[in-house]
Amino acid sequence: MSAVTKEIEAGGSLRTVHESSLATLRRGMALSPEFVRGLGVTLLFALGATAGRLVVPIAVQQVLDRGLGGPGGTDLGFIRAAVLYCAVAVLATALCAYLMNVRLYRSAEGGLATLRTKAFRHVHDLSVLTQNTERRGALVSRVTTDVDQISQFMQWGGLLLLVNTGQLLVTTVLMAVYSWQLTLLVWACFIPLAFALRMFQRWLSAAYTRIRERIGELLGAVSEAVVGAAVVRAYGVEDRTAARVDGAIEAHRDAQTRAQRLVALTFSTTEIVAALATSAAIAAGVFLGIGGEISPGRLVAFLFLVTLFISPLQTATEVLNEAQNAIAGWRRVLGVLDTPPDVSDPGPEGVTLDRGPVAFRFEDVGFAYPGSEKVLIGVTEEVPAGRRIAVVGETGSGKTTFAKLLTRLMDPTEGKVFVNGVDLRDVAFASLRERIVMVPQEGYLFDGSLADNVRFGKPDATAAAIRLAMTELGLVDWLESLPHGLDTPVGQRGESLSAGERQLVALVRAYVGDPDLLVLDEATSAVDPATEVRLQRALEGLTRGRTSVAIAHRLSTAEAADEVIVFDEGRVVQRGSHRELVGEPGRYAELHASWVAQQRV
Amino acid sequence: MATRVTSDILRRGLRQLRDAIREQPRIFSLAVVASAVYGTMTVGSAWVLGRVTEEVVLPALRDGRTTTAALVAAAAAIVAVAVLKSVGVIGRRYWAGVMQYRLQASYRRRVTRQYLRLPLAWHHRHPTGQLLSNANADVEAMWGPIAPLPMAMGVVVMLVVAGMAMIFTDIWMALVGFTVFPAIALINFVYQRRLSPRATRAQRLRAEVSEVAHESFDGAMVVKTLGREAAETERFAESAGRLRDANVSVGRVRGLFDPVLEALPNLGVLLVLLIGSTRIEAGSMNPGELVQTAYLFTLLAFPIRALGWVLGELPRSVVGGDRVHAVLRASGSTAYGDAALGGVGGVHLTARDLRFSYEDAYTEGGHRAGDSDLADDDERAVLPGTTVLHGVDLDVPPGRVVAVVGPTGSGKSTLMDLLVRLVDPDSGSVTLDGVDLRAMGRGEVPAIAALVHQQAFIFDDSVRENVALGRGLSDAQVWEALEVAQADEFVRALPGGLDTQLGERGTSLSGGQRQRIALARAIARRPRLLILDDATSAVDPQVEARILGKLMDAGLPSTVLVVAYRMATIAMADEVVYLDRGRIQDRGTHRRLLERSDGYRKLVTAYERAQSEREALEDLEDADGATDTAPDDEEAVA
């Protein structure tokens, strides 16, 4: 089984946060100071905006009871004054609401941008090991959709939640002022509804989860028709692919329809309960009114208040759903931030390496992926400065792990690695990454021009410097064959170039940085033999005076190196020059014989 | 200028809605009828409340008595109207949803059918992400306005009924209504018009943030090894900052208009109270009617916004629709003939004067041509291309094994794609047993030929299906193919054997394992022409040797073309074709080519020469005896 699979099975993945929603909220808030700054003032405006919603029922009551039904008949003067005051109150409310909105949006979005960036940085700070246990898409979600979910909630649901809760409270207070008996009655109708809504919300949440899963499957199916376009055509399986896409589309539509049915039902239930509450309030109100306990105006205003009371409940399921999603998203983001970077930068206290060739030493180093058997066992090797080393062995023998430990992409689970006599863990990252550079097999390129990608290794490299580096590496012919030279766009992930060409760019990128220890992990595996040999020659010249470690299954690399280290099943089994090793019976001689057999006719 | 664009969008958006109604007339009618019921009943509930106030509540409180019958009637009326309204709401929401989902599903099907139908060259011109978003987000945006559309129509009914009710109540009340409601509708229209470009921008920036994160995390290893975390974080923070500003700008518009839209009906109610009181004083209205009108204002304030929602969704819908239609209109389908090729055993392959140029996927400024996705890309001027094949001739007799050798970027992969008609040549032709590929019926070429690429594509499916691809092979046949591809051993070790799910949601395989599964897929079809395009590059040399051995032993009755660098592979071929810079420079046996072709010799003996040169050098050094100490000197310096 591949190393990747092993890592996934072994876990060691991102932390999962188990805590109450409130605790998540508190911790989330604390992480981004923007959230809390000025929150008191905002809440004050919120209070104003909410209380203002009572203006209309109060106006209706006042006009009916005192304006029209007062002891002296209709009092138009009073009505005019009341309407004027109320109009001012309505405008003041709108102003409060505006200020509250803008303040909330600004602090929420500011806080979320900070959270996003923190999480992004943290993902990069996690070790390769942790990064590889998560699907790339999942990591991306932590800084995109998860945060977007919180943002959407803040823009709509969170605002409603705040205002609606306030509205329920102030409406209840005013209702109680008008008639406590009717208030109890209304609450009696709504308490069962609240439970029902909670239930609906659970169903709805499940229905939405289902939709999201179906969307994932739908995208997967569509991407087969897009990403797999060549294979689909080469094998003539268009119909089969179409059938799979259709299946996914139908399943998605089905899930959407189910969810919609629930939404419609929820909305109507609230509507009917509201009508029941209204009619009950009218019936009871009339009896109370006959008994002189409530005035006509108050009773009518009460009916307005019932409408105000239910409107928050009509959106409650959606709001709660959003809240739940937002909290879940927040938890996932916090989960990233809670995951300790197991390979951490010693920071400013760290040692800065001097310029010049690097010597390194492995001292009884072992490594095991979490929960798996050791892939590297008791490696003790010393490499003097300026030596060119080739590392060989079969797939899975521990070569790449060796390279990752040497470049501190991972830390050994046993033993220590030293560079120039300093424990690798004590070297500041800024110095480490500048002096020790690894070129991985997958020459990942960023969308941009060839020059942009080279500058990734040295931001201030001029075009002339890049051209010079390519000349030194013997790549000028290739550069000139490109339609736009250094400005040639490489496409997303470098897809406009062939795998071999991507490796060439990656090599130049590492080379312009002028590192003192260059680690090549099968960095030229996809280029043609003539180019590889040419590159190797160039590197031989260029790595003279610096230390280099090359991992390769093409043994031509080993032939060219000063020394070869042979790995087998996680151990170093042989070390020496090619000439010494090829002559003595052992793993190297076997590998070499097989390689030669491959090359000779 | 801006207004012209808007009116254009309005026109196109409405045309799109008209098409939607034409496609789903029955469901749409049901939704509109239900919505009309909802609209009427909303006005009805205000009317009932007014009547109940006037005829039951106020008399009872005035006279100090009432009857059970009156109360029951009042309650029954309120509940009955609410039930009818609910039925309307359920119908409206449900059918609006059904209509929207059906349209989305139907357009997603159409778009993916196009993806499957259009030639591979078309795919090469469009970035993957864009095509996925055409089928997903763009289709969704295209039919966004369908959800609120029936509600908007119901609101129109609601307004007409409410207008009549107010006219019947009192002309002055009607005047207030006719001032306030159009004002709400108008302000909401302005609101949506100002919001929608900001929302679209925020949407675009969200996609941008996601792209940056995707790219950065995909290249995490490079970021780490080159110590670029801080620079990447800065790049991301910039993008996140732009999104934040866009979201705040959306929020500012919302924050302004929402309170205004809420205040407006409230001011309307106050106006109703003011004017209504005067009218009651004048005796032309009763308090019940006043309550009814005031209540109507509070009820109508919210739904009336639906008109604005539809309008607000239109720009997004038009943009989405344009992108979707660009895909649906894309021409350049692969034309098939009706020739069928029966027969067994290796096929006779010929190619005559094949020429091929790639259209540059990029324009001069480094912008991707696909960015101008609003334009129908088939109308786009053909960009200057890079010619990769300059007249290639090939003749491979049945059952022959031919190695295709050439340096990186010489056009090998393009040639292989042309040979199985993944792409058509600009000129020239390919024939199988004398039949031109273009004359063959759909599915005929894949039935005969199998091409395995270097980049193995794994379907999100079981191992069995990844090999069989719907051909209904027996397990024994699948195992047999896996065995030839040297994949049987690791598949047996997988938790579910042949049923193990691979791909996105399944077990992840190493590069070499993926290649072997892809190889098994080709072998299982027992093709008459097998093309391996560097298909075992990620496999250990020892394993590759076993695969090639098995392949020959299996006695597959096929013609084989293999792109390779490794000598052992080349040695197995009956003949070698040496390709360089898009031309066949030479062909013949390996031995012959070694003798007469410089380029070929340099390419395939690169390792050998490097080795012998080095040996010669070392012998020289040994003879010299002095240079051996050189490394030790350096050591001493360090």
Instruction: Give the pLDDT band of residue B624 (cuts 50, 70, 90).
Output: low
Cβ–Cβ gap B614/A560 under 8 Å: yes
Tell me A492's DSSP state.
Answer: G
Q: What integer pLDDT is reported at residue B342 of this predicted model?
A: 77
Question: For the segment A383-410, what is each residue's pLDDT rounded down to a tens digit?
Answer: 999 898 999 988 778 888 899 999 998 8
Chain B CB contacts of A68 under 8 Å are: 277, 280, 287
Cβ–Cβ gap B607/A249 under 8 Å: no
Q: What integer pLDDT is reported at residue B622 of this predicted model?
A: 66
If one compares A135 and A126, the residue with the highest pLDDT of the two is: A126
Cβ–Cβ gap A530/B263 under 8 Å: no
| Window from A101-105, B280-284, B334-338 with minimum mean pLDDT | B334-338
Q: What is the mean pLDDT of residues B28-40?
A: 94
CA–CA separation, B467 and A158 (whole Å): 50
| Cα-based distances in Å from B161 to A146, A532, B43 | 45, 82, 7
Give the one of A94, A144, A260 whose C-beta lies nearest to B262's C-beta: A94
Q: Is residue B219 a part of any domain in this protein? A: yes
Find out whether A48 and A166 touch, Cβ atoms under 8 Å.
no
Cβ–Cβ gap A286/B66 under 8 Å: yes
If one compares B305 and A222, the residue with the highest pLDDT of the two is: A222
**Tokens 């209840």 belong to which residue?**
A172
CA–CA separation, B479 and B489 (whole Å): 10
Q: What integer pLDDT is reported at residue A185 of this predicted model?
A: 92
Tell me A65's DSSP state.
Answer: I
Q: What integer pLDDT is reported at residue A601 of this predicted model?
A: 53
Does the pLDDT at position B373 exceed 70? Answer: no
Residues B593 and B617 in one domain: no
CA–CA separation, A551 and A565 (whole Å): 10
Could you tell me the strand order of the sheet in which B449-452 lies? Answer: B449-452, B529-533, B559-563, B401-405, B575-580, B583-588
If one compares B609 and B368, the residue with the highest pLDDT of the two is: B609
Cβ–Cβ gap A499/B49 under 8 Å: no
Give the one of A80, A109, A303 whose C-beta lies nearest to B274's C-beta: A80
Q: What does DSSP say about strands A547-551 and A517-521: parallel, antiparallel, or unpaired?
A: parallel
CA–CA separation, A77 and A89 (whole Å): 18
CA–CA separation, B608 and A39 (whole Å): 74
Helical (H) or strand (E) element with B416: helix B412-419
**Tokens 């001012």 belong to which residue?**
A88
Cβ–Cβ gap B251/A155 under 8 Å: yes
Cβ–Cβ gap A513/B65 under 8 Å: no
Looking at CA atoms only, how far is residue B127 from chain A in angstroms? 8
Cβ–Cβ gap A64/B287 under 8 Å: yes
Q: A interface mutation test: which of B225, B419, B567, B570 has the most A CBs within 10 A?
A: B225
Does the pLDDT at position B487 exceed 70? Answer: yes
Instruction: Give the pLDDT band of residue A87 (cuts 50, 70, 90).
Output: very high
Looking at CA atoms only, how far is residue A378 from chain B in angstroms? 25
Q: What integer pLDDT is reported at residue B366 of this predicted model?
A: 36
Residues B406 and B288 in one domain: no
Q: B interface mutation test: which of A56, A314, A352, A442 has the most B CBs within 10 A?
A: A56
The two counts, helices (H) then strands (E), for chain B are 25, 10
DSSP labels for A84-96? HHHHHHHHHHHHH
Give the one of B97, B298, B545 whose C-beta lies nearest to A260's C-beta: B97
Q: Is residue B481 a part of any domain in this protein? A: no
- CA nearest to B217 within chain A: A136
Find out whether B71 and A282 touch, Cβ atoms under 8 Å.
yes
Question: For the segment B395-423, what is each residue's pLDDT rounded down to a tens digit?
Answer: 999 988 899 998 877 888 889 999 999 88
Question: For the segment B220-274, what is each residue's pLDDT rounded down to a tens digit?
Answer: 888 888 888 889 999 999 999 999 999 999 889 988 998 998 899 899 999 999 9
Chain A CB contacts of B260 under 8 Å are: 94
Cβ–Cβ gap B86/A272 under 8 Å: yes
Q: What integer pLDDT is reported at residue B245 of this predicted model?
A: 95
Cβ–Cβ gap A506/B446 under 8 Å: no
Q: B interface mutation test: which of A76, A80, A84, A117 has the most B CBs within 10 A?
A: A117
Q: What is the mean pLDDT of chain B?
A: 84
Look up residue B9 and give its two tokens.
Answer: 């969008």
φ and ψ at A178, to 5 degrees?
-70, -45
Does the pLDDT at position A117 exceed 70? Answer: yes
Identity of the amino acid at B396:
V
Smallest CA-to-CA distance from A235 within B468, B463, B479, B512 is with B468
Number of folded domains that form chain B: 3
Q: What does DSSP say about strands B559-563 and B583-588: parallel, antiparallel, or unpaired?
A: unpaired
Looking at CA atoms only, how far is residue A328 from chain B in angstroms? 19
Q: Is residue B347 a part of any domain in this protein? A: no
Cβ–Cβ gap A282/B82 under 8 Å: no
Question: For the segment B352-367, what is each residue's pLDDT rounded down to a tens digit?
Answer: 999 998 765 543 333 3
Helical (H) or strand (E) element with A416: strand A414-419
According to DSSP, the residues that pair with B368 across neighbouring strands are B362
If one compares A93 and B128, the residue with the highest pLDDT of the two is: A93
Cβ–Cβ gap A2/B513 under 8 Å: yes
Cβ–Cβ gap A223/B422 under 8 Å: no
The 3-state DSSP class for residue A356 equals: coil
Residues B598 and B525 in one domain: yes
- C-alpha angle with apex B580: B578 to B583, nearest 5 degrees? 90
CATH number assigned to the domain comprising residue B172: 1.20.1560.10
CA–CA separation, A241 and A48 (whole Å): 58
3-state helix, strand, coil split of chain B in percent (to 5) is 65, 10, 20
Residues B587 and B620 in one domain: no
Chain A CB contacts of B611 under 8 Å are: 556, 559
Does the pLDDT at position B123 exceed 90? Answer: no
CATH superfamily of A19-179+294-338: ABC transporter type 1, transmembrane domain (1.20.1560.10)
Looking at CA atoms only, how far is residue B8 from chain A in angstroms? 30
- CA nearest to B518 within chain A: A231
Residues B440 and B302 in one domain: no
Instruction: Give the pLDDT band of residue B380 (cuts 50, 70, 90).
Output: very low
| Cα-based distances in Å from A338 to A14, A19, A186, A332, A462 | 8, 13, 46, 10, 41
Q: Is residue B33 a part of any domain in this protein? A: yes
Question: For the segment B155-171, what is each residue's pLDDT rounded down to a tens digit?
Answer: 989 888 888 888 888 88
Residue B63: count of CB within 10 angstroms of its CB: 9
| Cα-based distances in Å from B524 to A549, B481, B556 | 41, 5, 10
φ and ψ at A516, to 5 degrees?
-95, -20
Cβ–Cβ gap B229/A532 under 8 Å: no
Question: For the segment A328-379, what is each residue's pLDDT rounded down to a tens digit?
Answer: 888 888 888 888 888 888 878 888 888 888 899 999 999 988 777 888 999 9
Question: For the segment A233-255, what is each residue's pLDDT rounded down to a tens digit?
Answer: 888 888 889 999 999 999 999 99
Residues B321 and B254 in one domain: yes
- CA nearest to B230 within chain A: A121
Looking at CA atoms only, how far is residue B4 from chain A in angstroms? 31
Give the one of B76, B251, B442 whose C-beta lies nearest to A102's C-beta: B251
- Percent of chain B residues past pLDDT 90, beyond the cut: 31
List of long-range contacts for A368-372, beta carbons under 8 Å, 24+ apart: A368/A413, A369/A3, A369/A6, A369/A7, A369/A10, A369/A12, A369/A129, A370/A7, A370/A10, A370/A11, A370/A12, A370/A129, A371/A9, A371/A10, A371/A11, A371/A12, A372/A6, A372/A9, A372/A10
- CA nearest to A484 within chain B: B364
Q: What are the b/e assignments for A385-400, b being 16+ CB within 10 Å? A: bbbbbbbbbbbbbbbb
Question: For the segment B138-159, what is each residue's pLDDT rounded down to a tens digit?
Answer: 898 899 889 889 999 999 898 8
Question: For the segment A464-505, what is each residue's pLDDT rounded down to a tens digit?
Answer: 999 998 888 888 888 887 878 898 888 777 877 877 788 889
Sign of the alpha-carbon dihedral angle for B254, B257, B260, B266: negative
Q: Is residue B164 a part of any domain in this protein? A: yes
CA–CA separation, A551 and A398 (whole Å): 11
B412, HSE (Cβ side, Cα atoms, 13 Å):
29
Give the one of B413, B541, B611 whose C-beta lies nearest to A556's C-beta: B611
Q: Is residue B495 a part of any domain in this protein? A: no
Chain B CB contacts of A144 under 8 Å are: 206, 209-210, 213
If one compares B462 and A69, the residue with the highest pLDDT of the two is: B462
Residues B535 and B612 in one domain: no
CA–CA separation, B112 and B104 (whole Å): 12
Chain B CB contacts of A492 under 8 Å are: 127-129, 215
| Cα-based distances in Å from A290 to A300, A417, B59 | 14, 92, 10
Cβ–Cβ gap A231/B453 under 8 Å: yes
Map B3-56 to HEC letters.
HHHHHHHHHHHHHHHHHHHHHCHHHHHHHHHHHHHHHHHHHHHHHHHHHHHHHH
CA–CA separation, A286 and A292 (whole Å): 9
Q: Is residue B338 a part of any domain in this protein? A: no
Domain residue ranges of chain A, discontinuous segments joined by + = 19-179+294-338, 386-399+429-599
Find out whether A405 and A360 touch, Cβ atoms under 8 Å.
no
Find out whether A234 and B422 touch, Cβ atoms under 8 Å.
yes
Cβ–Cβ gap A95/B610 under 8 Å: no
Find out whether B82 and A268 touch, Cβ atoms under 8 Å.
no
Q: What integer pLDDT is reported at residue B565 of this predicted model?
A: 76
| Cα-based distances in Å from B501 to A215, A235, B217, B463 | 19, 20, 25, 6
Smallest CA-to-CA distance from B404 within B114, B167, B612, B603 is with B603
Cβ–Cβ gap B57/A595 under 8 Å: no
Residues B155 and B232 in one domain: yes
Residues B129 and B17 in one domain: yes
Residue A361: count of CB within 10 angstroms of its CB: 17
Question: For the segment B429-445, what is each residue's pLDDT rounded down to a tens digit?
Answer: 999 999 999 999 888 88
Tell me B425's DSSP state.
Answer: -
Residue A184: count of CB within 10 angstroms of its CB: 12
- Percent of chain A residues past pLDDT 90, beyond the cut: 24
Find out whether B500 and B506 touch, Cβ atoms under 8 Å.
yes
| Window from B137-151, B376-390, B475-489 with minimum mean pLDDT | B376-390
Chain A CB contacts of B445 under 8 Å are: 236
Q: What is the mean pLDDT of residues B322-335?
A: 84
CA–CA separation, A510 and A491 (whole Å): 20
- CA nearest to B368 within chain A: A491
What is the domain range of residue B453? Answer: 353-459+512-604
Does the pLDDT at position B276 exceed 60? Answer: yes
CA–CA separation, B173 and B180 (whole Å): 11
Residues B586 and B611 in one domain: no
Cβ–Cβ gap B101/A257 under 8 Å: yes
Q: Do domains A19-179+294-338 and A386-399+429-599 have the same CATH topology?
A: no
- Write the class of the CATH domain A386-399+429-599: alpha beta
CA–CA separation, B294 and B551 (whole Å): 86
Smallest CA-to-CA distance from A412 within A342, A341, A360 is with A342
Does the pLDDT at position B287 exceed 60? Answer: yes
Chain A CB contacts of B69 under 8 Å are: none
Chain A CB contacts of B412 under 8 Å are: none
Q: What is the mean pLDDT of chain A?
A: 85
Q: B interface mutation test: which of A178, A224, A409, A481 has the most B CBs within 10 A?
A: A224
Instruction: Give the pLDDT band of residue B494 (cuts 50, 70, 90).
Output: confident
Q: What is the mean pLDDT of residues A95-117?
A: 91
Cβ–Cβ gap B277/A444 under 8 Å: no
- C-alpha angle with apex B567: B561 to B571, nearest 5 degrees? 60
Chain B CB contacts of A289 under 8 Å are: 57, 60-61
Q: Is residue B538 a part of any domain in this protein? A: yes
Residue B613: count of CB within 10 angstroms of its CB: 12
Helical (H) or strand (E) element with B222: helix B220-225
